[in-house]
Amino acid sequence: MNEDTRSSQRHRTLKGGKIVVNDGFSTFNCTIRNMSETGAKLLVPSVIGIPERFSLALDDGRSFACEVAWRTETELGVRFS
């Protein structure tokens, strides 16, 4: 996504987190590479098995409902919903 079309500025970060699916029965470790009030860029070993909607639980205790905006083999761009 072009930086100019984002509704809020993203800030570089390097935080740990978990992608939580199936009511918490399945998790995927991830690294949050950048984040804004409306979304984030996540780095994962593989996007295989990660659905279009999930919860993102940060290591600092915060949690966000997410919808995938784009994906590559090892990255996800998500919108907070």
Residue 4 clears pLDDT 60, i.e. is over it: no
Q: What is the pTM of this model?
A: 0.85
Domains of the chain with bracketed CATH: 10-80 (2.40.10.220)
Q: What is the pLDDT of residues 32-73, one digit of tens each?
A: 999 999 999 999 999 999 999 999 999 999 999 999 999 999
CA gap 51, 53 in Å, rounded: 6
| Stretch (H or E) spanning 4 | none
Residue 1 clears pLDDT 70, i.e. is over it: no
CA gap 58, 80 in Å, rounded: 13
